Amino acid sequence: MSDSFLPSRHGFTFDNVWPAQPAVVVPTPFGDVPFGKANGGLCGGMVFAALDYWHAGKPPPGSRPPLGTPLYAFIVRRLLESWRLPGGVAKYYEWMGMPDNDSPTFQLFGRPLLTRRGIAFRTVSGEWPSIRAELDRSAPVPIGVITVASRQPKDLALNHQVLAYGYTTSGDTVSVRVYDPNRGRRDDIAITFRTTPAGPTTFTHNLGIGGRQVRGFFRTGYRAQRLPSGG
């Protein structure tokens, strides 16, 4: 694609608000989890579908699809595929249970010998370099965002998915520009963090996630799919 992704041009014109019933109940290794409720939305499906339209060189449809239509079914299917069962769900669950920052697991004479890496380190040192490399090639990257610390499988649906399409840097501060289906076609949405912080890593953001924090994020597997009939 020669036309770089931009939410104001390539995002859906409608935001991520849907009927109250679950769009799909996902059988995970931890039990059935309903996704797609009005309070959780279809964020992953909208991210993947918007990227499908971008790859196809076509603008996304301009009106919210009613239940039972091909586009609605397509977004729901892409939501399910965005979770990459079973491994994708397991990664969300694993990260939900990790500490925010590194913590020593074994000490000798007061000095840490073994360290359990937290979400912040895994995001900044493990995930961000590969995401950045894709963005440098002008390739948007779907990312899974961890917003809760929990061991409860039902809380999987409280996490979020957005589409990274660019970034800016100032010294060691990085602002990842994202398309957030909860924010519609806004071009000013970002997740910001420092790559070499003096203390614990924190992530600031203006995502539409009801005031929850961003604890970290990782790249999710994506493959472009054929658009639905009439799309």
Residue 229 belongs to some domain of the structure: no
Question: 1 or 171: whose pLDDT is higher?
Answer: 171
Burial per residue of 209-229, b for 16 or more beta-carbon CB atoms within 10 angstroms, e otherwise: beeebbbbbbbbebeebebbe
Separation between Cα atoms, residue 116 and residue 138, nearest integer Å: 34
Residue 225 belongs to some domain of the structure: no
Residue 204 belongs to some domain of the structure: yes
Separation between Cα atoms, residue 194 and residue 60, nearest integer Å: 34
Mean pLDDT of 169-186: 97
Mean pLDDT of 192-216: 93
User: Average model confidence (pLDDT) for the chain?
Assistant: 88
Stretch among 17-31, 40-54, 66-80, 123-137 having the lowest mean pLDDT: 17-31
Residue 224 belongs to some domain of the structure: no
Question: 28 or 193: whose pLDDT is higher?
Answer: 193
Residue 11 has pLDDT above 80, yes or no: yes
Q: Which of 5-19, 76-90, 91-105, 170-184 has the highest mean pLDDT?
A: 170-184
The number of beta carbons lying within 10 Å of the beta carbon of residue 72 is: 19
Burial degree of 144 (CB within 10 A; 0-12, 13-18, 19+): buried
pLDDT of residue 1: 45
Residue 192 belongs to some domain of the structure: yes
Residue 28 has pLDDT above 80, yes or no: no
Note the pTM of the prediction, 2 decimals.
0.89
Euclidean distance between the first and the last CA atom of the chain, given in angstroms as a whole number: 18
Residue 230 belongs to some domain of the structure: no
Residue 2 belongs to some domain of the structure: no
- The parent domain of residue 117 ranges over 7-219
pLDDT of residue 67: 84
Burial degree of 150 (CB within 10 A; 0-12, 13-18, 19+): middle
Orientation of helix 70-82 relative to helix 43-56, angle to 10°: 110
Find the length of the chain. Answer: 231
In 3D space, the residue among 153, 183, 174 whose CA is nearest the CA of residue 47 turns out to be 183
Residue 20 belongs to some domain of the structure: yes
Whether the CB-CB separation of 36 and 79 falls below 8 Å is answered with yes
Separation between Cα atoms, residue 136 and residue 117, nearest integer Å: 27
Mean pLDDT of 35-44: 71
pLDDT of residue 77: 92
Number of domains comprising the chain: 1
Mean pLDDT of 198-224: 94
